[in-house]
């Protein structure tokens, strides 16, 4: 194939896609590092000389080191913000200079600026850890033209039904279906899975996967704005803007706390000398120490940093949480409700049995069912069309689909109904002479009001469904509930196999919402619902935490959910809750340590038993401890990995693992 290069930097862009997007931003810290080094050199020189030049060297060091802080203070005052960290440090250090404590004034500013730089770097790294884990934005697409040439274009110019070519090592830019080629793709950026996935003609691939071995030709199924990668990027941007209640509390607290400590420091400096004729120098020094030690930066930085680390850890495990508020809310979950098809089961159905009535052939029975279901998005409808395996050329009109029942339509001159017993009963079709297999999904077919046969369809339990239930139990979840549109007999069978507490079956979409409302009323804590279908969107939106099985889930479900499991594995639910709980523990550890150290140093300073050096530790040192503590969230494995050293999922070999679902039911 010939190629037309619209951009001469194709090779560079390809490399950036294969090895990560963009460059590390540590070079942006070069200026501050040089400034701190120069200031530290002047400070050290002043400390060593001990002569008339020392004062000038201290002043130069102070101006070099404190310039940005003083500038921020001036800007804040101009903006009407009189009380913040920069103001506290400026007052404290200029006050120290006023009482001729030059070494301590410069030292405080030096260590404060070092702490600020390290905090900024840590916060930036934490944010970039989330970005890099989800850094799947495509830079180009190889569009295959009608004349066989390849044009390198912006992915946003690609339209559905266009054909693109992905070479080994390139990132797949858009969602699509493989038309030609065999390869393995790296899905880690979206799903958190380390094992490559094999793809072949007919396989679905998502934007953000990385092609590893073979050349792939893919037909695009969605434009860039509707692609998985674009949705993920939008969700990640929104997630950063959603603060947890703890974050909001700390922000409000800092706005009250900072002016309070300034007033207290002023009283500490003025009251003893004015009322008790104490030393101005001693009490001014203690007031300055009070200001430095009370600086709230350790609190302000450590809390959001902890939540950023939690969001990053979740993303690393293929769990997209749409904000710190939802991460914190996961801690309150006491009841977990689960959909069945596509959540606990694979949602991949296959036709196992055709049972036509006398006078109707098996092929005719399947043709009627596939034709009637040709426009349905339900997995059972897809299995019928796949089993038929031929182009549907029937003239289908008057098509009507009823959620939880099935479809009716006119095919040629015949009235055809395809669905479950509820539909047949409503239409007055007698199917009483059929065998009702409690362990099977039966699709009934009627023509002109007469029963013409049924089709048995099966589904499989997800390989990690048992693991998911076990892990949720170990995390202390009080109730596990199944809410499904499936038949009672089948749902009960699955519930007993997995050990689910409550099974609610044969539910229409609005009935699922009603059941969820009842669970919320009866639960002392939050209720989480996990599902993947279009009909699950109302329930996901109503739950305290809605979780979408998002790898290939319905877009409406993804938008309504608060958490998306990119790998479609229910065992990730326990991982999400485990990450949330660990994040909360670390955040509160940071808060408690910061308060304890600050209060201790403040009391010691007020009694004259501490110096500005201890005050610096109470500020910068505690902030650094919080940063180190927060990093633990990203480093430790979760749930199954803690027990096995790696999440091991045993395949289900029991024949009873083949489970069933009703046609037309909202799953």
Catalytic residues: 339
How far is Cα 584 from Cα 135, in angstroms, rounded to an integer? 26
Secondary structure of 291-302 as H, E, C letters:
HHHHCCHHHHHH
**Contact 340/327 with Cβ under 8 angstroms?**
no
Helix or strand holding residue 73 (H, E): helix 53-78
> Helices 622-635 and 102-133, interaxial angle, to 10°?
20
Q: How far is CA 395 from CA 365, 381, 389, 409, 410, in A?
A: 16, 18, 18, 10, 8
Ramachandran bin of 269, using left for φ above 0, alpha for ψ from -120 to 50, beta for the remaining angles: alpha
Q: Which residues of 215-242 are buried (b: 16+ CB within 10 A; e: fewer)?
A: ebbbebbbbbeebbbbbbbebbeebbeb
CA angle (310, 316, 319) in 5-degree steps: 75
How many C-beta atoms surround the C-beta of residue 429 within 10 A?
20
Q: How far is CA 22 from CA 17, 212, 271, 596, 610, in A?
A: 9, 21, 57, 41, 47
How far is Cα 372 from Cα 380, in angstroms, rounded to an integer? 12
How far is Cα 397 from Cα 376, in angstroms, rounded to an integer? 14
Residue from 375, 310, 330 nearest 636 by CA: 310
Strand partners, 648: none
Residue from 227, 172, 162 nearest 205 by CA: 172
How far is Cα 54 from Cα 43, in angstroms, rounded to an integer? 9
Q: Which two tokens stand for residue 68?
A: 């940005």
Q: Which two tokens stand for residue 90?
A: 């400026």
Residue with tokens 């990132």: 171
**Contact 532/554 with Cβ under 8 angstroms?**
yes
């Amino acid at each position: 194939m010939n190629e037309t290069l619209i951009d001469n930097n194709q090779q560079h862009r390809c490399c950036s896609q294969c090895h990560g997007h963009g460059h590390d931003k540590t070079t942006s810290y070069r200026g501050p590092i040089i400034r701190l080094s120069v200031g530290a050199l002047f400070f050290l020189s002043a400390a060593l000389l001990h002569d008339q030049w020392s004062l000038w060297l201290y002043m130069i060091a102070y101006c070099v080191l404190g310039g940005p802080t003083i500038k921020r203070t001036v800007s804040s005052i101009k903006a009407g913000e009189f009380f913040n960290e920069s103001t506290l440090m400026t007052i404290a250090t200029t006050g120290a200079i006023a009482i001729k404590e030059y070494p301590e004034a410069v030292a405080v500013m030096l260590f404060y600026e070092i702490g600020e730089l390290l905090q900024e770097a840590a916060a930036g790294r934490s944010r970039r850890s989330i970005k890099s884990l989800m850094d799947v934005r495509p830079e180009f697409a190889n569009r295959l033209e009608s004349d066989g040439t390849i044009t390198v274009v912006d992915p946003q110019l690609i339209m559905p039904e266009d054909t693109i070519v992905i070479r080994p090592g390139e990132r797949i830019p858009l969602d699509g279906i493989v038309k030609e080629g065999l390869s393995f793709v790296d899905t880690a950026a979206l799903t958190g899975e380390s094992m490559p996935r094999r793809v072949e003609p007919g396989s679905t691939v998502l934007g953000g996967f990385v092609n590893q071995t073979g050349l792939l030709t893919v037909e695009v199924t969605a434009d860039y704005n509707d692609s998985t990668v674009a949705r993920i990027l939008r969700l990640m941007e929104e997630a950063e803007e959603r603060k947890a209640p703890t974050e909001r509390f700390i922000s409000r607290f800092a706005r009250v706390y900072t002016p309070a400590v300034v007033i207290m420091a002023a009283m500490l400096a003025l009251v003893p000398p004015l009322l008790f004729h104490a030393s101005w120098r001693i009490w001014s020094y203690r007031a300055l120490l009070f200001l430095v030690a009370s600086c709230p930066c350790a609190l302000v930085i450590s809390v959001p940093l902890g939540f950023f680390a939690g969001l990053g850890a979740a993303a690393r495990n293929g769990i997209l949480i749409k904000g710190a508020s939802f991460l914190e809310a996961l801690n309150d979950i006491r009841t977990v409700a689960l959909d069945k098809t596509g959540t606990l089961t694979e949602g991949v159905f296959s036709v196992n049995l055709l049972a036509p009535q006398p006078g109707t052939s098996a092929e005719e029975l399947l043709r009627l069912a596939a034709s009637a279901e040709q426009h349905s998005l339900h997995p059972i409808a897809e299995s019928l069309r796949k089993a038929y395996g031929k182009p549907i050329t029937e003239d289908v009109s008057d098509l009507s689909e009823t959620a939880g029942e099935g479809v009716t339509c006119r095919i040629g001159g015949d009235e055809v109904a395809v669905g479950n017993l509820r539909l047949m009963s409503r239409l007055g079709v007698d199917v009483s002479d059929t065998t009702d297999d409690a362990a099977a999904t039966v699709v009934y077919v009627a023509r002109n009001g007469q029963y013409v046969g049924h089709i048995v369809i099966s589904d499989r339990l997800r390989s990690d469904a048992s693991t998911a239930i076990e892990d949720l139990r170990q995390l202390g979840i009080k109730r596990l509930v199944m809410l499904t549109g499936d038949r009672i007999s089948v749902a009960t069978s699955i519930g007993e196999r997995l050990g689910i507490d409550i099974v609610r079956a044969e539910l229409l979409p609005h009935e699922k919402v009603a059941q969820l409302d009842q669970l919320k009323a009866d639960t002392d804590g939050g209720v989480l619902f996990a599902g993947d279908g279009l009909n699950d969107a109302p329930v996901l939106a109503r739950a305290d935490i809605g979780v979408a099985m998002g790898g290939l889930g319905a877009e409406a479900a993804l938008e309504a959910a608060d958490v998306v499991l990119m790998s479609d594995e229910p065992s990730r639910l326990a991982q999400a809750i485990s990450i949330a709980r660990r994040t909360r523990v670390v955040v509160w550890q940071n808060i408690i340590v910061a308060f304890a150290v600050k209060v201790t140093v403040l009391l010691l300073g007020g009694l004259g038993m501490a110096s500005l050096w201890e005050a610096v530790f109470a500020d910068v040192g505690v902030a650094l401890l919080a940063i180190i503590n927060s990093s633990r969230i990203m480093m430790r494995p979760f749930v199954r990995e803690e027990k096995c050293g790696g999440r091991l999922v045993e395949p289900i070999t029991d024949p009873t693992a083949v489970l069933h679902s009703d046609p037309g039911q909202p799953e």
